[in-house]
Structures are given as C-alpha cells and as structure tokens.
Amino acid sequence: MSFFISSVAKKLLTMENISKSFPGVHALKSVHFDLVPGEVHALVGENGAGKSTLMKILSGIYTKDSGEILYNGESIDLTNTREAQDMGICIIHQELNMMNHLTVAQNMFIGKESTKGFFLDDAADNRQAADMLARLGMQSIDPKELVANLTVGRMQMVEIAKALTYNSRILILDEPTAALSDQEIEYLFGIIRELKEEGVAMIYISHRMDEIWEISDRITVLRDGEYVGTVVTADVTQGEVIQMMVGRTIFVETKSESSVPEGAETVLEVRNLNAGRMVQDVSFDLKRGEILCIAGLMGAGRTETVRALFGADKKDSGEIYVEGQLVKIDSPADAARVGLSYLSEDRKRYGLATSMSVAANSVMACLENFMKGPFVDQKRINKVAEEYVEKLETRTPSIRQLVQNLSGGNQQKVVIAKWLIKNANIFIFDEPTRGIDVGAKNEIYKLIHELAADGKSIIVISSELPEVLRLADRIVVMAEGRVTGILPAGSSQEEIMTLAHDI
C-alpha cells in the first residue's frame, strides 16, 4: 500500500497548517492532513487531541482560524454543512443523528426530498432509497420502516447510505463501530471496502487499534492539537502508533494470577438469579478486594444481570447475600443501602448531573449526610469533594467546574468519588473504558486496582478481552443469559472465547 505516499497518487484533499482556537483552548495548531482517492485514512489520538475539531472543520460545522484546505487542487472555504455536503464531504457522527420518528427513506433524503410540484414524492424517495440500500447489500432494510425500530447497527448503515445520497467523495466515520456487534462490524468493513473500490476516500476515527489495522491504509496521529505524523499502516506496529499518540511507551501487562489473598471473605453472593430471558439461573460470588470480570459476547446478558442485581430491573427470582446476610434489593436505593454501587457505561445518562459542579455531583448520592439543620453544608461538601479530587487525581481546574467540561475519564472519576463518599463497598463497572482514550484507560485501570487494594470489591463488565485479562482476578463468562464458566486469572483469550460461544 505504499503507493499512497508516493507523489504519483493525486491528492483528493490537503489540509495545511489548520489552526483553531476556542475561548481558553488552542484546539488545533498548524495541523496537516491529506487524503488520496479510495483510501481509508485512520485519524487517531487521545481524547482532546483535536480529531473531532479537525473533522468538524472539514465538514463545515466549525470554521478554521487559519490554514488552507485544498480539495481537488482548489482552495475551498467551508462555512456550513450544506456546502460541505454539496462538495461531497460527509460526516457520520459517533452519536447517530437520526430522526427516529421518520422512516428510513425520509431520513436519507431529508433536505433533498423528491417533489412533484408542491407535493412530496415519497414513492420516488422510497425507490431511490431501496436502490441505494441494495447497492450496499442492505436489501433487508425496508425504506418505509421507522428508524426508531432499527437496531443501532442498522441505523449506522442507514447513515452511511444517507451520506452516499450526497454523492460523497469523502466520508468521515467518527467511531463508527462503537455501538456495533462483531458481526455488524464485519459487515460495515465490507461496505467500506466496496466504497474504496468506487474511489470514495474515508477518514476513520477510532480508538480500536485492531480495527485500524484491519481496515486502514494510512494513519495520521494527533496529540494535544498538534500534528505528530502520518504513517503507512502496514509499515508500523500498534505499539509504535500508541507511542506516537501518548508520547510515551505504555506497558500492557496481563494479570497472571489472582491478587486476592487466600481466605478472603465473601462479600457478595448471587444465587440462582433469574430476570427474563437474558438472565437465567446466574450464580457467582465476590470476595473482598477482588476484581471479578464478566465477559461474554453481545447479548450474553451481562448488563441485564448486574441491572437485576442492582435493582434497576425487575428480578423474577434469586437470592442475594451481602456479607453473609440475605438482602432484598428491589430498587437501586435498596442496593445502595447495602453498599452496592453501579457505574453504568452511559455516564451522562445514569451517573452524573453533567450541568452541575464536581462538588455537587460528589455528594449527590448522600446529600443527607451533608446538612446543617435544614441547610446544605457547602463548606463540608467542598472539603470532601476536594479530598476526593486529590485522592483520585481528578483533573479539574476546581471543584466548582461543571462536570460536562471534564473529559470522559475524569467524569468517570467523579462518579467513583460519589460512590466512595457514599461509602459503597461493592463497585459494579459496566464497560468502564468505552469511548475513553488509551491514556485515560490506564488511569481507570490503576484506579480500579487501587480500589481493590483498598479492600473494595469490584465487578467489571467488559467487552474488551485485553481489559479483562489485565484486570480480572476471576472471570465469569456468560452466553445467552447463562453463566457458562468461571475462569481464574491468567486464563487465555481462547479459553474465554470458547466459553463465550458455549450455548
């Protein structure tokens, strides 16, 4: 694939010396980026490295402060998304932006509906949508279906089909696989390869190194808003790229044996838990200071299990013992009372009031302990919030900072602080590092290890096997709503995958 860097290949796009500042932040400093037709160009960097900003400039959402964009050899200036789309530059955002109440075809042709005089010609759009979907091998999607009724994977496909209705020459895919199953990812890659054949250039933003090596031709690395370099994927190793991203070497080790002392007491015991189709007869226990990972494929029932355990969803039957005592958990409040805490993967939705401060969020779960008569004791709240910011090394300018302004990893820390202040003993993490960059991931791993070393007990649901192997003292593997095996630390990926496929 080295022909891509030879000067023979005509550049489709060159972005030169692109700079962009926001109040208080220099988001991009003289960044370079280029594309040739038919290539998949991965754009990587930690959160805050400037990937999104650069892509928003290319798709007309932001305007650059300085620099030049050459498209087909001509200098262009984009001021809105419409202009970019008209030129064939289209972005598919990580958080899918769809109109759920409209049909597939209506979504695809929004802004350019076929009309017959004053009236919409839905039949024509449905026909065109069907053609477009068929071209991508997605005949199974009905153009007349409401988008709300599609799976996330199919919504993604519709977004791609929609982008193609603009006759896109450049397609920007921002974390396209974040919400997809393995099967759907394979399918997506098939489509990407097909588009490549047609000469569409794609910019692929992802945290997942394996995918980048599978699909991309070149990689451009950004760090702290600066251009680090562009490499040909086939010529470099993942380690080298990660090193470019973080500017330091990250040593990835796996846990070879359990670090839980022998004879540690059992703090949580789940017996024959049943909750619908996705949780059948699930039993496991958790020791003090243990990190128990729950592994499995998509739809294995892992999240459903912990939600039922935590009282967030209804249980059909089953017993839960906390420190030897049979407890009744019918609601998250019950769970919190016996020392359980649940840190869901969607932190914004379930874990944090993002428009409130770090301090306010820190005491959210136990405000009643921070009262002076009928009044909120802000002094004590600030003190405890400061204490935990320090303890967890949360990177925030102050405890008055709004949580929405923190990075994903630091938001995670605020949730953890909240539960520590509430005096939780058992932490359930659901995909704690999803959507978090490599550097912040390591901090989360360190934090989880420290919590465990501190005598807290931890359950981690993870879809990333390296993460499981790195964290787990024991591994519960689930498939189709059942526990198919419990493995010790130091098990191999193959052993886990075998059990995960056991149906």
Partner 1 sequence: MSSKETSTAVAKPRLKSGQQRLFALIALIAIYVIFAAFGNRFFTYRTFMNILEQSYYIGFLAVGVTFIIITGGIDLSLGTVMMCSAMVGLVSFGAGVPFVLALIITLLVGVLFGVLNGVLVSYLKLPAFIATMGSMMIALGLSAIVSKVQTRHFPSRTAEVGSWFQNVFRSVNMDGTVIPTGAFWLVGLIVIAVIVLNKTRIGRYTFAVGSNEEAVRLSGVAVEKWKLIPYIIAGFCTGMAGIMYGATYTTIIPQTGQGEELNAIAAVVIGGTSLSGGIGSITGTVIGVFIMSVLQVGLMSMNVQPHYQKVLTGIIVIMAVFIDIRQHKKR
> In 216-330, where do the E strands start and end?
218-223, 226-232, 266-275, 279-287, 291-296, 317-322, 325-327
CB of 93 to partner 1, least distance (A): 7
How far CA 43 is from CA of 31, 50, 72, 177, 412, in Å, comes to: 12, 10, 21, 14, 25
Query: In terms of Cα–Cα distance, which of 220, 218, 225, 214 is closest to 190?
Result: 214
Instruction: Measure the CA angle with vertex 341, ends 496 and 425; round to 5°.
Output: 90
Shortest gap between Cβ of 118 and partner 1 (angstroms)?
A: 6
The residue among 72 and 493 lying less far from partner 1, judged by its C-beta, is 493
Nearer Cβ to partner 1, position 253 or 454? 253
> At its nearest, how many Å lie between partner 1 and the CB of residue 293?
13
Q: What is the DSSP string of 36-75?
A: -TT-EEEEE--TTSSHHHHHHHHTTSS--SEEEEEETTEE
Comparing CA positions, the residue from 366, 363, 322 lying closest to residue 457 is 322
**Identity of the residue, 81 or 354, whose beta carbon is nearer to partner 1 in the bound complex:** 81
Euclidean distance between CA atoms 264 and 458, whole angstroms: 14
The CB-of-313 to partner 1 minimum distance in angstroms stands at 9
Give the Cα separation of 306 and 279 in Å (integer): 9
Residue that is written with structure tokens 């009031």 in the block: 353
Q: Residues in the site for partner 1, rule: CB under 8 A?
A: 61, 80-82, 85-86, 91, 93, 97-102, 106-107, 110-111, 113, 115, 118-120, 146, 148-149, 151-153, 162, 177, 179-182, 184-185, 208, 210-211, 278, 296-304, 345, 430, 461, 463-466, 493, 497
Q: Least distance from C-beta 135 to partner 1, angstroms?
A: 20
Nearer to partner 1, 305 or 362 (CB): 305
The position carrying tokens 């760090």 is 223
Strand 40-44, strand 218-223: pairing:
parallel
Select 76 or 366, whichever has its Cβ closest to partner 1.
76
Compute the least distance from the CB of residue 464 to partner 1, in Å: 6
Closest CA to 369 of 420, 422, 417: 422
For the CB of residue 294, give the shortest distance to partner 1 in the complex, in Å: 10
CB count within 10 Å of CB 115 equals 11
**Cross-strand pairs, 291:** 458
Cβ distance to partner 1 smaller for residue 120 or 371 = 120
Nearest approach, Cβ of 328 to partner 1 (angstroms)?
A: 23
Smallest separation, CB 227 to partner 1 (Å): 26
Closest contact distance (angstroms) between CB of 180 and partner 1 is 6
Q: With respect to partner 1, which residue has the nearer C-beta, 71 or 166?
A: 166
Give 26-43 as a DSSP string.
EEEEEEEEEE-TT-EEEE
Nearer to partner 1, 211 or 323 (CB): 211
408, 207 Cβ separation under 8 angstroms: no
Q: Using the minimum distance from each CB to partner 1, give the nearer residue, 29 or 93.
A: 93
Whichever of 104 and 399 has its CB closer to partner 1, that residue is 104
Count of CA atoms in the C-beta half-sphere (13 A) of 419: 29
Taking the C-alpha atoms of residue 442 and residue 425, their distance in angstroms, rounded to an integer, is 22
Listed in sequence order, the residues at least 6 apart from 315 whose beta carbon sits closer than 8 Å to its beta carbon are 273, 274, 275, 308, 329
